[in-house]
Amino acid sequence: MRNKSIAVLTSGGDAPGMNAAIRAVVRTAIFHGLKVLGVRKGYEGLIKGEMFEMSLSSVADIIHRGGTMLQTARSPEFATPEGREKALNMMEVFGVQGLVVIGGDGSFRGARDLANMGIQVIGVPGTIDNDIPYCDRTIGFDTAVNTVVEAIGRIRDTTSSHNRANIIEVMGRNSGDISLYAGLAGGAESIIIPEVNASVEDVCKRIMHGRNRGKLHSIIILAEGVGGAFEMAKAIEGKISVETRVTILGHVQRGGSPSAFDRILASRLGAKAVELLLEGDTSKMTSQYRSEIGAFDFDEVLSAKKEFSGEIYSLARILSI
């Protein structure tokens, strides 16, 4: 792999810290004498040959920036065998022997397909959802949780002034991790996530319990994977006559300057990806798992189920009674 070329792309939904990961890939690769090409707009750019050579200064001044300087896309064409064949041909045209894919599990499925076609590919877990097995944290999750916690503080102010309840819907696709960790850190009275069955009766009980001991607000964090925020607000008003508002935080959770934690994680995982390529490794995801930086086969990652932290869930319930 030494004296050869690698490419780097970001794919799927962006996440704060992706730029720090790109910077780590580019600088580690150049440090080891590799040529690095940046691919614009994920697999879409790979198919179309939107690649350019990156230098040390291409990644200057980006470690603190949200989004991804390479841009990202979800590519329907790459999901087809013909699309992947085109991508492989384009990599041959540009003389690329290795690829780093920064993204989530959908992106890793594509990365594994490419690896099976004979190109060296390493994945770096970048998604706010924290829904990838064998990862303590995905890049972007910590920043997103902090964004939600800040929003909870603001919403609690107005909720208290009006003595209301507020349902805050947060992202996470099918994972409840953003809700769970932001709910614990923000002191939410109820956390409703796909991993645990919840009832409106339980939410109402917790609201009334708080009110009876003088609480002025009730914060309910609801994961988007559960949905039905407006229906739940109506149900609460119908059952206990507590005025209830809904806030959908949406893409505000995906932007912003990455936290120090995400910058450090991204730097370590990006560098590790290049080291693996240099060692001749392929079809693996780098990760921090049980506090150790390492790598797991795509096959293992893509067939496992993300562990759910029941302990955090129970703790949040106990501490918010």
Backbone angles phi, psi at 247, to 5 degrees: -125, 125
Interaction between residue 16 and ligand F6P (CB under 6 A): no
Interaction between residue 320 and ligand F6P (CB under 6 A): no
Residues 123-162 that bind ligand F6P (CB under 6 A): 127-129
> Got the DSSP string for 125-173?
EB-TT---TT-S--BTHHHHHHHHHHHHHHHHHHHHHHT-EEEEEE--T
Q: Which of 56, 50, 62 is nearest to 27 (CA)?
A: 56
- Two tokens, residue 237: 């008003």
Q: How far apart are CA 125 and CA 282, in angstroms?
A: 15
Q: Which stretch binds ligand F6P (CB under 6 A): 62-70, 171-179, 198-206, 306-314?
A: 171-179
If the CB atoms of residues 125 and 172 are measured against ligand F6P, the closer one turns out to be 172
Q: How far apart are CA 28 and CA 193, in angstroms?
A: 39
Interaction between residue 13 and ligand F6P (CB under 6 A): yes
Interaction between residue 41 and ligand F6P (CB under 6 A): no
Residues 6+ apart with CB under 8 A from 100: 6, 7, 8, 9, 25, 121, 122, 123, 124, 270, 273, 274, 277
If the CB atoms of residues 11 and 28 are measured against ligand F6P, the closer one turns out to be 11
Catalytic, 105? Answer no
Interaction between residue 284 and ligand F6P (CB under 6 A): no
Question: Of 14, 105, 129, 142, which is the active-site residue?
Answer: 129
Q: Which of 211, 213, 175, 215 is nearest to 191 (CA)?
A: 175
Interaction between residue 306 and ligand F6P (CB under 6 A): no
Q: x/- contact string, 227-266, with ligand F6P (CB under 6 A)?
A: ---------------------------x------------
Instruction: Find the shortest distance in angstroms from Cβ 244 to ligand F6P.
Output: 23
Residues 45-64 that bind ligand F6P (CB under 6 A): none
**Site residues, ligand F6P (CB under 6 A):** 13, 104, 127-129, 171-173, 224, 254
- Which positions are catalytic? 129
